Amino acid sequence: MDTIHKTVLLKETIESLNLSGKAIVLDATFGGGGHSKEILERYPNIKIIALDQDESAWRKAKDKFKGLEKRIFFVNINFKDIVSPEPGTGEFPCTWFRGGLVRFDAIIFDLGLSSDQLENSGRGFSFMKDEPLLMTMKENPSLDDLTAIDIVNSWGEESLVDIIYGYGEERFSRRIAKGIIEARKKNNIKTTFDLVKIIGDSVPSAYKRQRIHFATRTFQALRIAVNDELGALKVGLEKGFEILKKPARPHDSLGAGGGGRMSVISFHSLEDRIVKRFFRDKKEKSEAILINKKPIIPKEEEIKNNGRSRSAKLRVLEKI
């Protein structure tokens, strides 16, 4: 199946990375491959390591890369597991890395759920389709992997309240958690539509008439919990910063130091808060400079063409 994902803030992200020469870029969240494809087409000498914990991501997007395959290498891992490969370790089994610890010229984190995962994964990310309530980014989860089915059928009421409010910022979290507890006494909650009905029965009628679907925040919260997205983000940012290229010379008063750059696109306040704090901490420690003091947001035209871009925020830093 072809990818249907529309890459958010594509032009702004790539231009913010200040790419040139024979740079090596780490696309830490390959998704639909939009950023990687644009970079390879713009810069004929640049190479990309692309990561995604969803193995199907490359299968769905690889037709886009005909003629470009020799300059992109896909690795099926979560970005929290990234390490800088050393020669001979086989960490990234390709021949690009020779002589010394690898440092990347640029790293991209696009934290949004791709349209392919939302619409075509069959894993229960969308409340608009009746699918098994898995919500895991892994294409083939093992029996040991946490799923949303596990959470809604076995977690206690207070734990449900905590994640629905804490990760989804859902003001009716207590009502929804209570509804889940009562519903599962009768039957296991197995599908997205099972959960949507419970949420709909738990919230006020007026809430269901608002612009944002009444199940949005609960589904977001469960997805974040299943995949430990916020914990992974904190780890991924730290590891990513460590493997950014160090500057060849001290940065000057204009902020041009030549170090590697990291761009992060976030889509909700919890993610953006983590990114903002991480960037601020690196700046205060004189380890990085902020390329944009305020986040870059999509223009009206992009929002019109892709409503899912509405909440996107792009932040960029440079290692010094």
What residue numbers does the annotated binding site for S-adenosyl-L-methionine cover?
Answer: 33-35, 52, 79, 110, 117
Which residues share a beta bridge with 72?
48
Backbone angles phi, psi at 193, to 5 degrees: -70, -30
- To the nearest 10 degrees (0 to 180), the angle between helices 229-242 and 216-227 is 50
Would residue 71 be called left, alpha or beta, if left means φ above 0 and alpha means ψ between -120 and 50 degrees?
A: alpha
Spatial neighbors of 21 by CB under 8 A, at least 6 apart, are: 45, 46
Task: Residue 280: name the closest of 290, 271, 270 by CA.
Answer: 290
**Beta sheet of 313-319, edge-to-edge order:** 72-75, 47-51, 24-27, 106-110, 261-266, 313-319, 288-290
How far apart (Å, rounded) are the C-alpha atoms in residues 36 and 41? 9
Annotated binding site: 33-35, 52, 79, 110, 117
* Cα-to-chain-centroid distance, residue 270: 13
Contact 110, 122 (CB under 8 A): no
Alpha-helical segments (H) within 17-170: 34-42, 56-61, 115-120, 148-154, 157-168
How far apart (Å, rounded) are the C-alpha atoms in residues 33 and 51? 10
Environment class of 69 (CB within 10 Å of its CB; exposed 0-12, middle 13-18, buried 19+):
exposed
